[in-house]
């Protein structure tokens, strides 16, 4: 669980950099070392969480994380949560492999940024995966509260960033 929460904190922090720049009316370049470094560590923690998590429940039977014969309702939620986690992990691997200056130069700014925006899919998958596991494992209220607070903080900051960008865009057009 420690890797999950550390990864979620880092993912939230990576998502906060751009909106904070926009809110403070600071330059918000396509890529910054700070955002990239935080994102790299978020990906490392997320991947470590997946490796650790795949060794917790099924005593080495990896396929049972993703398919079961005659699954009950709880098993279906477990399987769905694991598919979401796998999706997030695969996307994190792609994003991690592109988190360098060479990829940015080779792909060009627009294509690189488009791929990096898969981070939003990662966040949605992570939030749904995490929420499902909060319920499946009947986590204590403090764990659920911390997880929920991180998701809400990310959502609030992203919304504030969008509003700041729209406000700035309107100023330029008038």
Give the pLDDT confidence score for residue 44 in this predicted structure. 96
- DSSP labels for the chain? -HHHHHHHHHHHHHHHHHHHHHHTT----S--HHHHHHHHHHHHHHHHHHHHHTTTSSTT-GGGGT--SS--HHHHHHHHHHHHHHHHHHHHHHHHHT-SHHHHHHH-HHHHHHHHTTHHHHHHHHHHHHHHHHHHTT--HHHHHHHHHHHHHHHHHHHHHHHHHHHHHHHHH-
Give the pLDDT confidence score for residue 174 in this predicted structure. 66
pLDDT band at 80 (very low <50, low <70, confident <90, very high): very high
**What is the mean predicted confidence (pLDDT) over 96-115?**
93
Parent domain of 135:
2-173
Has residue 50 got a pLDDT over 70? yes
CATH code of residue 6: 1.20.120
**What is the mean predicted confidence (pLDDT) over 21-44?**
89
Domain total of the chain: 1
pLDDT band at 105 (very low <50, low <70, confident <90, very high): very high
């Amino acid at each position: 669980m420690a890797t999950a929460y550390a990864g979620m904190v880092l993912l939230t922090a990576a998502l906060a950099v751009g909106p904070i720049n926009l809110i403070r009316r600071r330059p918000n370049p396509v890529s910054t070392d700070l955002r990239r470094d935080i994102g790299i560590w978020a990906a490392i923690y997320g991947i470590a969480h997946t490796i650790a998590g795949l060794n917790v429940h099924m005593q080495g039977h990896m396929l049972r994380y993703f398919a079961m014969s005659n699954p009950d309702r709880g098993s279906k939620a477990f399987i769905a949560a694991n598919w979401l986690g796998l999706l997030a992990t695969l996307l994190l691997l792609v994003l991690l492999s592109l988190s360098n200056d060479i990829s940015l130069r080779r792909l060009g700014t627009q294509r690189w940024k488009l791929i990096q925006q898969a981070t939003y899919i990662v966040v949605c998958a992570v939030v749904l995966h995490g929420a499902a596991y909060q319920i499946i494992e009947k986590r204590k209220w403090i764990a659920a509260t911390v997880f929920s607070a991180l998701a809400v903080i990310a959502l609030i900051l992203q919304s504030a960033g969008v509003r700041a960008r729209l406000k700035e865009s309107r100023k330029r057009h008038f």
